[in-house]
Amino acid sequence: MAEDFLPIKGYDHIEFYVGNAKQAAHFYEKAFGFRPLAKAGLETGCRDRAMYVMEQGNIRFVFTSAYSPDHEITRHCALHGDGVKAIGLAVPDVEQAIRETKSRGATVLQKATSVTDDNGTFVTGTIKYAGDTVFRFVDRKNYRGAFSPGCVPIQAHGSLGVGLAAVDHVVTNVYLGEMTYWAEWFERVMGFTNLLSFTDKDISTEYSALMSKVMENGSGKCKFPINEPAEGKKKSQIDEFLDYYYGPGVQHVAMNTGNIYETVEALRRRDIDFLRVPDTYYEYMHKRVGDVDENWEELKKLGILLDKDDDGYLLQIFTAPMQDRPTLFFEVIERHGSRGFGIGNFKALFVSIEREQALRGNL
Ligand code: FE2
């Protein structure tokens, strides 16, 4: 097998551009159990933006907003609403990551840049991805600071996590006809392979359909499904996202937990809303998957979904959109061998999504 020209160690962070980073950080702390780790802003000498770095398990979220109306971040928020700007990938050598991806056709937005402070040297470089979303390569092996130069640590509030452990996958929605382009882009530019493909035959309801390709890096640590809408009777959930995000972007971030019952219970206590499937789903699914050693009553009570394939099974649940616009949402997932994405649940889920879409007058 050819050597991996882009060895990725894992997800480093996900940066969200938001209208009010202070309030977003508070929400993700109180509602999602993220612990404040570091911040930057006027009080730390950062003159153009406020940045809050939050962590839970191996997941790092960064919430950023700008202080002025003509700032790139402010314009991004005006256009897209709150959403994911950058997917940070940990690499051993940013210079090499930029060089290799550029030679294969990546659009470089920021070449490898080293910043040194008292805590060491922090290196980043950025390439363009779909829409206004970017991939940011990060090398922090020689950096001991809280997150990045310019950030100061936040005294922990003693916030309690909900058991979220790692980013499992990050899903992007693109326009009709663009999915294959981006799948090939991942292969050519990033050296990824196509793990799975779903057509509208697999994923359709009476009203809408979508197609999806899942791209995976060499080590299997990073997975990026790409969705595009397919022709349906009415507007698909992907079309709704594209209409409200005003372009392609990150639809959902899936996070692993070791105990989905506890995680979902904790999130429900904190008033996180999840998509609900009809109770009949559980009778149908119990019959379909047979003997899986899970508490079906609890699954039903909490609204957790289950899917099974040849490798094993998975448990998953999806939140409602996280902001006013029906755009970004989250998935909580617990894997038991399965490397899939819950295709067996898509249909039940879409009916549920479409019910909510209809309530918004967008179906
Ligand atoms: Fe997912």
pLDDT band at 363 (very low <50, low <70, confident <90, very high): confident
Neighbours of 261 (CB within 10 A): 18
Neighbours of 82 (CB within 10 A): 22
Q: Could you give the angle at the alpha carbon of 273 between the alpha carbons of 200 and 29, nearest 5°?
A: 115
Say how many Å lie between the CA of residue 158 and the centre of ligand 1: 30
> Does position 276 have pLDDT exceeding 90, yes or no?
no
Say how many Å lie between the CA of residue 153 and the centre of ligand 1: 32
pLDDT of 188 reads 97
Q: How does 152-172 read in b/e, with b if 16+ C-beta sit within 10 Å?
A: eebeeeeeebbbbbbbbbbbb
Domains 10-153 and 164-360 share a fold: yes
pLDDT of 2 reads 66
Say how many Å lie between the CA of residue 313 and the centre of ligand 1: 14
Say how many Å lie between the CA of residue 113 and the centre of ligand 1: 32
Per-chain mean pLDDT for the chain: 93
> Does position 107 have pLDDT exceeding 70, yes or no?
yes
pLDDT of 289 reads 83
pLDDT of 288 reads 81
Say how many Å lie between the CA of residue 82 and the centre of ligand 1: 20
Say how many Å lie between the CA of residue 32 and the centre of ligand 1: 18
Say how many Å lie between the CA of residue 215 and the centre of ligand 1: 13
Give the tokens for residue 35.
């612990």
The CATH T-level fold of domain 10-153 is 2,3-Dihydroxybiphenyl 1,2-Dioxygenase; domain 1 (3.10.180)
> Given this structure, which CATH class describes domain 164-360?
alpha beta
Say how many Å lie between the CA of residue 10 and the centre of ligand 1: 17
Q: What are phi and psi of 89, to 5 degrees?
A: -115, 130
CB 215 within 8 A of CB 193: yes
Say how many Å lie between the CA of residue 250 and the centre of ligand 1: 11
Give the tokens for residue 129.
């991805």
Say how many Å lie between the CA of residue 67 and the centre of ligand 1: 34
- Strands 249-257, 329-336: parallel, antiparallel or unpaired by DSSP? parallel
Say how many Å lie between the CA of residue 341 and the centre of ligand 1: 6
Q: With CA atoms as reference, report the closest residue to 282 among 259, 313, 303.
A: 303
235 by Cβ neighbours in 10 Å (0-12 / 13-18 / 19+) ranks as: middle
pLDDT band at 87 (very low <50, low <70, confident <90, very high): very high
Tens-digit pLDDT profile for residues 167-184: 999 999 999 999 999 999
Say how many Å lie between the CA of residue 213 and the centre of ligand 1: 12
Give the tokens for residue 301.
């009570």
> Does position 196 have pLDDT exceeding 60, yes or no?
yes
> Does position 138 have pLDDT exceeding 70, yes or no?
yes
Tens-digit pLDDT profile for residues 61-72: 999 999 999 999
pLDDT of 233 reads 66
Say how many Å lie between the CA of residue 128 and the centre of ligand 1: 22
- Give the separation between CA 168 and CA 317, rounded to whole angstroms: 13
pLDDT band at 90 (very low <50, low <70, confident <90, very high): very high
User: pLDDT > 90: what percent of the chain?
Assistant: 78
Say how many Å lie between the CA of residue 253 and the centre of ligand 1: 7
Tens-digit pLDDT profile for residues 278-303: 888 888 888 888 878 899 999 999 99
pLDDT band at 8 (very low <50, low <70, confident <90, very high): very high
Q: Cβ contacts of residue 156 below 8 Å, gap of 6+?
A: 35, 36
Tens-digit pLDDT profile for residues 215-252: 999 999 999 999 999 877 678 889 999 999 999 999 99
pLDDT band at 315 (very low <50, low <70, confident <90, very high): very high
Q: What is the layout of strands, in order, in the sheet containing 164-173?
A: 193-198, 209-216, 223-230, 164-173, 249-257, 329-336, 312-318, 305-309
Q: Residue ranges of the domains in the chain?
A: 10-153, 164-360
Give the tokens for residue 286.
């119990």
- Give the separation between CA 322 and CA 330, rounded to whole angstroms: 8
pLDDT of 334 reads 98
Higher-pLDDT residue of 348, 55: 55
Say how many Å lie between the CA of residue 254 and the centre of ligand 1: 5
Q: Cβ contacts of residue 42 below 8 Å, gap of 6+?
A: 50, 67
Say how many Å lie between the CA of residue 148 and the centre of ligand 1: 29
pLDDT of 1 reads 53
